[in-house]
Every structure is written in C-alpha cells, then in structure tokens.
Structure 1
Amino acid sequence: MIGCRWFLDDYPDIDTIPFDEQIQIAGKNSGNLFIGHAVKTHLLRLFPNITKLDYFSFSDIRLTSGDSIKDDYDHIVMSSSNMLNPGVNFGFITKFVEASGLPLVIVGLGAQAESIAHAVDLHPATVRLVAYAADTSKGVGVRGAFTADLLANLGIKNTVITGCPTAYLNTGTGFRIEVPNSVDDIKTAALSYKRDRNKYASDAQLKPIQTQMLQLSIEHGFDYIAQANFAESWTGFHRDIDEKKLANIAKYFGHPEGDIKRLRTYALDHIRIYFKWADWRAHMERMDFAFGCRFHGNMMAMIAGTPAVWYVHDTRTQELCERLSLPTLCVQEMTDKGFSLERVFEKADYTTFNATYQDRCDEFDAFFTSHFT
C-alpha cells in the first residue's frame, strides 16, 4: 500500500513517539489514517489469504527503486484522498510504480477545487500516474462525478465512482443510522473545525460560523475533535495548555480576552485528537450527534452509529456526500440564514442513506475485488 497510512495502533512503541512525529506520519491530518485503515481493512476482509501486506511511505518510495519490489508483490494499492491538487507533483510516485511494472489500484481519488465551476490544473506527472493506474487496473476509483469529469477531460475515462472507502466499513451488518427525535435529545456531540486553509471564499464564510460553533460547544460541553489545526491538535494530544497555542485558537475564534479562563478549561476538557482507530471510534460511539467541516471526522461518527451532518464547502466534500447520500448543510445557506444547532439538526435526514447503504457497499466491493481476480 502507498498513499494514506492506516492508523498507528500497530506502530512500534507508538505511545512513546512525540506528537510532532505522529502528526507527520499522518500526513499532518489524522483523517488520512482513517482512509488508509479502511483500504487495509477491505483488503484483509475481501482477501483473507493475503500473505504479504506492507505500507510504503512517501519517504520509502523516494528511497526505493520500483524495480526492486516487483518480485515481492503482485499489486500496488494507493489509498487516496484529495490528491488531485493544482501544482502537486507526484512524479516520484509515477517513477516508482512505472519501474515496478506492477498493476496500480487507486481507490478514493478526489480533486480539490473551490467549486465545480473552478478548473483544476494538474501537474503532467500526476496525470501520468493516474493514466498508469487506468491502464494497469480495472479502473480508477474516484470520489465523485467532479473528479471523474476532470479526468475524462484529460483523456482518462476508465474511472468508477466509488466515494470514499471509509464509508463501507459496516457492510453486511444491516447498518443504519437512527436520528434523535429532537434537538433536545442531543446531550453529547462532537464538532469538527477547519482553519488550516485560507484561499477559498468559503474559508472566510466559515470563520463566523465556526466562531458560533465554538461558543455553542463551550456552552453545552460539546467535544472538539481536531484533525489538522496544529494548535488544537497539539492541545488535544497533550491534554495540556500552551499559552501561545491557546492565544492562537482564541485569535481565530475571536474569543473575548476577558474570558480566556473559560476557553482554557474547555480546551483541557473537550479538545481531542486521535491517531488510533479504536480510541477515535470509541469516543464517537459515546456521542449523540456530530457535525462540522471535516469529512472524516463526521464519517468516523457515522461509522460508529452516530448521526452526523457534513458542511459542504468545496468540491471534495460535495461529491463525496452526493455519492453516499449523506446529510449536508451548505456553508452559503448558513451565511444567508445564520447558524444554529436547530438548523444543523433539521438537515439530519438519513432516509436515503439507510435505503441505499448496502447497495453502495456492494458496488464498492464489486469494484475493489475486480482488480484482484
């Protein structure tokens, strides 16, 4: 496997490894580990007789000749995220897989853009990597129609819309989501925030919305599950306060200087980050509700049986939610009508999701297994 690594539960001496190293292993976003975990889980679930399954980090790929691995493996599987970004150069991966001559199976590949109206200018080496996968496999698994159309315009038409592999971890269990009867039944909730990018119009729109979300969290004692924002991630990992990082959080959210003590207490008690599958899932199982800007933060809630609502703020979120029939709330709608827990809760309609979930799981399994039979 290449791309997103699985969770760090199996990492040697993980509890002794400092935060800075763990966040780097996660690709600076713990949600990436969820993707890798899902792909690994599906491989072992669908092919229990696998005799050798290893993960190659980007550093490993840079230091290894693809030619040197061709006798040890039958396939290369890339667990992907929103890797089709303008200017991103995956030439070193392309060189590696081409030298190996092995089939490249890509699943969960997504394009990153502000909206479906915006073009995505891909580096030629990245296009060549995807073309190699299309030529050596049964098709490239993409997140949604936006990504499929982008690749088709580049001449890569051998794509299959699969959504994200994280969505299918409850396949075959009769899984369905039950929503609380009323917003008054929400006693525990997990919120996800995004403030690590400031280049889209939606990023500016999110700031006042997330400011209100934090105040709601402080008032109700809801949890803040960090994934990538460094100050919050450091705080959630150490469960301690660094005054400079607390000031960084307060500045973004416009938290009153005279009320910093309350923010400090909240941060200690409610900000968390997880690099282990079992710990993150167990936390979400205790929640009544989840919502916010992080796709995989909400997905972890949903997989744990907790109803979640996704904020749509770019193409990657939009196409994934459309494919999976997940409940969404548009950032523009909150900007126009205002944010409230009630407005979020009223979007938590899982009727279509529950009716189609097993079909989507079956479609994913059919696509994934077709590469190896």
Structure 2
Amino acid sequence: MITALRTPTGEGGVTRILLRAHKSHFRSATAAESITQRLLGSNVGNLMFSYASERLLSTSDVQIDVSKFERVDPGYINEHYDVAVVPLANAFRLPLAKGVRDMAELFEKLTIPVVILGVGAQGPISGEFQASALDVEVDRFMRAVLNRAPSVGVRGELTAKYLANLGFGDEHVEIIGCPSMFQRGLELEIVPKVDTLTKYSNISLSVSPYRQLIGPISLDHALRYPNLMYTAQDQRTLGLMLTGAYRAPYTPPADTPTTLDHPLIRDNRVRFCLDPTTWMDYLSTFDFAFGTRIHGTIAALMAGTPAVLLAHDSRTLELADYHAIPYRMLTPDDHVDAVELYEQADWKPMLTGHAERWGRMQAFLAKHQLRHVFEPGQSPDAFDAKIAAVDFAPPVQMGMRHDLKTFYELQRSVPALAREMREVEAKLSTTKAKNRSKLRRVASRVKAKLMPAR
C-alpha cells in the first residue's frame, strides 16, 4: 500500500504534482481550439475545480503539471512525479463507466500516491441508487485509490451513501465538497449590489440545455428582463455560437436557448467565458446570478455575486447542501422568478459554515501530505501573478465574426469540411507527405470559415 509521499524528487527538493485538468490554466486558447482540442471537457465548469485545485496547491515548494490522464504512460508518471492529484466532477455515472475503468487501470499501475480531491455520484435526488454495471467499475476505482491513499474525498452525502452501499464506509470516504469553493481558503464574501431586483437589473442565467424545465424559464426571463444575459457553459452551445448549429444526440427541449431564433441567442444576449478568470471577472459585473449550473453558481459566488442554484439532480443538490448554497428545487409545478429567488435567498448559512468546511478540507489535505497556499509562510500571489500575465480571450459572443446569414452558411459547410478532413486523415498512413499537405490545406479552409479575417 502506498499512502505516503516519497522524498521530493524535483530539482531543489520540490514536490512534483501531476494534476488532472483539461488544459493548462495559464494557456489562452481560442474558442475553436477549445472545441477541437477538447480543452473544456464538455463544460467549462470542469476548469473551475481544476483551476481552484492548482491555485490551492501552488506552494513555493511544488511543481505542478497538468494532464487529462488520457493515454498517459504510467511509467513516465512514476518516474517524474511524486503524487497524482485528481479533482473530479460527477464521474460516478453510467455513461462514464469506461472513464472510471480507465482511471482505475491507470492508478493500479502507479507507484505514487493518488489523491481524489472531490468526486461525485450521479443519481436520483432521493439518493436511492439502483445496482448497475457502474458499481463494478467504481469498486475497482476505489480499491485502486485506497491502495495509494488513506481516503477518498467526495463531494457530498449522496456520494458517501452510494459508496457505503458498495462497502466503503467512513474510514474510506471523507466528505470535502468541491475545491472550487476553497480557492480563496477561508475567505468567502458575498456583496449585494442592490437591495431588490427590478425589471432592469443585470442578471446572469445559467442553463443546462438538456433539462426540459429550464426552457420555459429561459424564454420567460428573456422576455421580461431586458438586461438578463445567458452565461453559457457547455461545448454544444459554444458550437452554436461559432457555427449556428447546436449539435447533440438528442432533440433539445422546447424553448431552450439552442436555436438561432431564441431571443437570448438572436439578440446576442449570450456570452461564453473560456477560462475561470474571465468567467469570474464577467460574473462580478452582475447584480444576481441563477440557473441550473452548479459551477456557474459557484463561479458567481467566488466573484462575490449573489447566486441561487436551480437544483435538478443529485450532483447539484449534494454540493448545494454541503456548502449551504441557496437553491430551489426545479419542479414542473414551481414558478421561478428571479426577483423572488433574490428576495428569498439567504447566504448567511453558506458564509457562517464556510470556516468549518474549510477546516475539513485542510485536514484532508494534511492527511494526504499536501500543503496549501494559505498555510503560514505561503501565499497564492505567485500563482495569481502568473495568471494576471496571461492575455485570456474575452467572453465569446454571437456576431463577433459572423452575421446571421454566415451562420447558416457555416451550418451547411462545416460538416462537409469535417468529413473531408476525416477522409484525408484516413489516408495518411499510405501517402503521408502528400496527404499531410492536403490536410493542412483543408484545415486552413476550416479555420478560414470559422475565424475569417476582420
């Protein structure tokens, strides 16, 4: 069993950490790169908890590199790193069973500690999980980690209950919430800009486009609140903003902002932030934020903006419960109105309970022999200065490069160009040089379509 960090092997005695993240938090990527290189996962919320983890762990005596943990050489990791730190979202769900299995297979080959910095299970709000094929994969995952760590950090009570049903009790599992809420350590402050909201207040809405109930809410608020903006997070909506098409393996529910004629899309009342820094900066300008996205809610709270979650599944509910984030259950019979949400919300339990939750996170890190930047003698200043030096892309918006006619043309032409690229790639193995040249020409055509010169 591997439960202790070995003597730091980095130059100068630094501890070398390999952090799971979809991209370097110091890289400024374009919208097109974010999609084609899968730099967001499927949702920019993934960057929020990895960003928070890196900021939290960036002490003066560590070197942190990031990896998606996909197609990596375990031998290389064992040789070049002292610990693997893995912040996760709702990874324990059936559609991600293969991903859970792949991580377990990787961990089984590692000879360094593995720290799971918050993982969640997806299930019914009741918390009554039914046995499924996922259980075998999660059991293997947990055993692989617990052979390399004293415990596993989970996001909330529902995940702990699910794991207890699999035989992993309190001695194996610690509830620590989400690292996103601890990126500033003990500091957490909400500063209301207004006493009450009005029709003309600046409001941010987050949307899960696959949720049927959010469609009517988005349309109703778009019509009644002229200064409301849709702060989008999912990659498919970013694709809609770039190409004019929302491409999904399902038919989006009615009234969701997934078409060019939805008022939030049509009237350029949608923004997509590609990085946590620009996301929080953007949300700091609003009077209020609400919606179904848990990390959209957390991003607003980290920006000091009052926010309320519309909880709709176990993953959103358990984080809201643990961190005492104000929420309203999203039900078919409930009328949702931003003004009422703001009036009824109470952020005091979240603020007053934060110190205890932060203490629990600190204890978890200490048990896993990880230091953090809020310890005496440490500071997040170096990390923040490095972030401040990056020229991050501004929030993406509709019409930045195209008019509506061009969007429709792109909707027709981009799939054809993508097919042509795949055909060329398939031939690379036989005539590499010739086809690489052709591939570059096709790629240039795609880039010209998506990002024409201004």
Normalising by structure 1, what TM-score? 0.83
Q: Residues 120 and 108 of structure 1: is their aligned pair in 2 closer, same or farther, counting only changes over 3 Å?
A: farther
How much is the aligned-residue C-alpha RMSD, in angstroms? 2.8
Where does residue 139 of structure 1 map in the other structure? 151
- In structure 2, distance between residues paired with 1:101 and 1:322: 36
Is this contact kept in 1: 2:186–2:354, CA < 8 A? no
- Partners of 1:142 and 1:331 lie apart in 2 by 24
1:234 aligns with 2:239: yes
Q: Which residue number in structure 2 is paired with residue 225 of structure 1?
A: 231
Q: For residues 185-224 of structure 1, what are the structure 2 equivalents within 5 Å?
A: 187-196=201-210, 203-216=211-224, 219-224=225-230
Q: Distance in 2 between matches of 1:339 and 1:359?
A: 32
Cα pair distance change 1:301/1:120, threshold 3 Å: farther
Alignment of 1:281-296 (within 5 A): 281-296=280-295
Q: What secondary structure, in the 3-state scheme, does the structure 1 residue paired with 2:205 have?
A: strand
CA distance in 2, matches of 1:304, 1:53: 25
Deviations 1:178-222 (CA, angstroms, capped at 9, x unpaired): 3442123972121100123xxxxxx33343333323434xx4221
* Shift in alpha-carbon separation, 1:254–1:357, aligned structure 2, 3 A: closer
Q: CA deviation at 1:336?
A: 2.2
The DSSP-based 3-state class of the residue aligned with 1:223 is: strand
- Residues 1:125 and 2:149 aligned together: no
Instruction: Give the match for residue 431 of structure 2.
Output: none
Task: Tell me the distance in 1 between the aligned counterparts of 2:338 and 2:34.
Answer: 33
Partners of 1:262 and 1:112 in 2: CA distance: 32
Residue in 1 aligned with 2:122? 112
Instruction: Go from structure 1 to structure 2 and tell me whether the alpha carbon gap of 1:100 and 1:235 turns closer, same or farther (over 3 Å shift).
Output: same
CA distance in structure 1 between the aligned counterparts of 2:122 and 2:35, rounded to whole angstroms: 26
Q: 1:155 aligns with which of 155, 167, 176?
A: 167
Displacement, 1:245?
4.7
Is residue 2:186 matched to residue 1:178? no
Distance in 1 (alpha carbons) for counterparts of 2:223 and 2:351: 32
Matches within 5 A, 1:69-88: 69-86=77-94, 88=97
**8 Å CA contact 1:226, 1:272 repeated in 2:** yes
Partner amino acid, structure 2, of 1:125: E
Q: Check if 1:348 corresponds to 2:345.
A: yes
Is 2:373 aligned against 1:363? no
**Structure 2: which amino acid aligns with 1:133?**
V
> Does structure 2 conserve the Cα–Cα contact (< 8 Å) formed by 1:309 and 1:347?
no
Per the alignment, do residues 113 and 71 of structure 1 end up closer, same or farther by CA in structure 2, a change over 3 Å counting? same
For the 8 Å contact 2:120–2:155, the answer to whether it is kept is: yes
8 A Cα contact 2:121 2:159, kept in partner: yes
Give how far 1:128 is off: 1.1
Q: Is the 8 A contact 2:294 2:309 kept in 1?
A: yes
Structure 2 alignment gaps of length 5 or more? 1-17, 371-454
1:253 corresponding residue in structure 2 = 255
Over 3 Å counting, the alpha-carbon distance change for 1:97 and 1:221 in structure 2 is: same
Q: 1:98 aligns with which of 74, 92, 108?
A: 108
Aligned residues of 1:186 and 1:289 also touching (Cα < 8 A): no
Give 1 or 2 for the bigger CA radius of gyration.
2
Q: Given the two structures, how large is their TM-score scaled by the length of structure 2?
A: 0.69
Query: How much has 1:26 moved relative to structure 2?
Result: 1.2
How many Å separate the matches in 2 of 1:251 and 1:153? Answer: 34
Equivalent position amino acid for 1:98 in 2 = E
| SS in structure 2 of the partner of residue 25 of structure 1 | coil
Partner of 2:22: 5
What SS does structure 2 have at the residue aligned with 1:14? coil
CA distance in 2, matches of 1:95, 1:38: 26
**1:20 alignment partner in structure 2:** 35
* Cα gap change, 1:317 to 1:260, in 2 (>3 Å): closer
Structure 1 counterpart of 2:448:
none
**Which residue number in structure 1 is paired with residue 429 of structure 2?**
none
Residue 199 (structure 1) aligns with: none
- Distance verdict in 2 for CA 1:321–1:16, change over 3 Å: closer
Q: Give yes or no for contact 2:200–2:226 (8 Å, CA) kept in 1.
A: no
Alignment-derived partner of residue 316 in structure 1? 315
Asked if the contact 2:78/2:112 (under 8 Å) is kept, the reply is yes
Identity of aligned residues (%): 24
Using the TM superposition, name which of 219-228 and 338-347 deviates more.
Answer: 338-347
DSSP 3-state at the match of 1:224: strand
- On the 8 A contact 2:53/2:183 being kept in 1, the answer is no
Kindly indicate whether the alpha-carbon contact (under 8 Å) linking 2:84 and 2:115 is maintained by their aligned counterparts in 1. Answer: yes
The one-letter code sitting in structure 1 at the alignment partner of 2:291 is: G
Distance in 2 (CA, whole Å) between partners of 1:229 and 1:100 is: 32
Determine if contact 1:189/1:287 at 8 Å carries over to the other structure. Answer: yes
Determine helix, strand or coil for the equivalent of 2:35. helix
Q: Distance in 1 between matches of 2:32 and 2:245?
A: 23
Determine the C-alpha separation between the residues in 1 that align with 2:71 and 2:44.
Answer: 20
2: distance between equivalents of 1:33 and 1:261? 27
How far apart, in 1, do the equivalents of 2:157 and 2:246 lie?
Answer: 39
Q: Conserved in 1, the CA contact under 8 Å of 2:21 and 2:66? A: no
Q: Is the alpha carbon distance of 1:117 and 1:249 closer, same or farther for their aligned partners in structure 2, counting shifts above 3 Å?
A: closer
